[in-house]
Chains A and B, each alone.
Chain A
Amino acid sequence: MPNSEANLEQLEVDFQARIDAEERIEPKDWMPEKYRKTVLRQMSQHAHSEVIGMQPEGNWITRAPSLHRKIVLLAKVQDEAGHGLYLYSAAETLGATREELVQLMHEGKAKYSSIFNYPTLTWADIGAIGWLVDGAAIVNQVALQRTSYGPYSRSMIRICKEESFHQRQGYEIMLKLANGSPEQKAMAQDALNRFWEPSLMMFGPTDADSPNSAQSMKWKIKRKSNDELRQAFVDQTIKQIEVLGLEMPSKDIKWNEERGHYDFGELNWDEFFAVIKGNGPCNRQRLAHHKKAHDEGAWVREAARAYEAKKKARAEKAA
């Protein structure tokens, strides 16, 4: 009676016990359908974010101010492509194909991080992205190294190790600009001001507005709540702003003795939901560019396939 209700209930109890014992779930284990769907959605969203995230930075590769900055930026964007690959592969362990996942994003049914729908207007934005956007991503990903799904957890460990230079190179750009000419310093300040709120929103809606979080925490897909992660990021970043000698990006930033944390005021969640719905400054451009690159690369995939067929035919003939 493999499908009886009692049996299913027992499977779910065993599954939760395994999670509570801090054991990882591996691809061939039994898992509740909703767990599979949630992990798959999160991994695909994460993979799409890595790949779409190449666009705002790629925008400055040809205009980087020196050869050194150019090769560093190239190396970083190259890393993002690799990280997308790790995550798509982890997602594929749950039976989805890469083509399906990409298709869902093209149809607007799968999301990516809304931060990448903001434009990179100046060189300082590249500094702000490395420092703040990668910094926020690292806070999130360090927690996810202990996520319950084995392949996801292992890709996070690999990614965190490789990403340690991303934030430092961004901060170094900011440091140079903040100690440069008044114009350069103003540029750094402007980038900080524009990327501050969107970076804090990368952690997702407040816990009160995040209805699926409780189940994800119980299954240990998420290890810390959105608000906890956001606070940790704010607390570590304030000192870094001070060292740059820049002004705080919001007048609401104040040390709160009672909480032992920095307050940072209310975020503009209307904007967050508008961007998620597709109405950010660059949503259409990002998707259109991804589709175009994908379509224009079709001949490469076809040529590789044709070459393989030709090699096989030749080998058969020789045999």
Chain B
Amino acid sequence: MKARVEITLKQGVLDPQGKAIANALEQMGFAGVAGVRQGKVIEIELAETDARRAEESVRSMCERLLANRVIEDYTVELGI
């Protein structure tokens, strides 16, 4: 089973890279860009076939390593 983890900075945490991208888009003439947040995507191949157990395991990975819960949020999608 495949899991896809999306990690983003928490709302309220300054994202200088997102800000730079927003500025760049604006200068390129893309009007109406209200905000940009940059994050990362991590794809994980799991041997686990049970969706509930897989999700539990990936959430634990996120809590313990993949995301820094001081500044980051994450979402987990399974079976893509």
Are A and B physically bound partners?
no
Q: Give the interface of A toward B (CB within 8 A).
A: none
Q: Give the interface of B toward A (CB within 8 A).
A: none
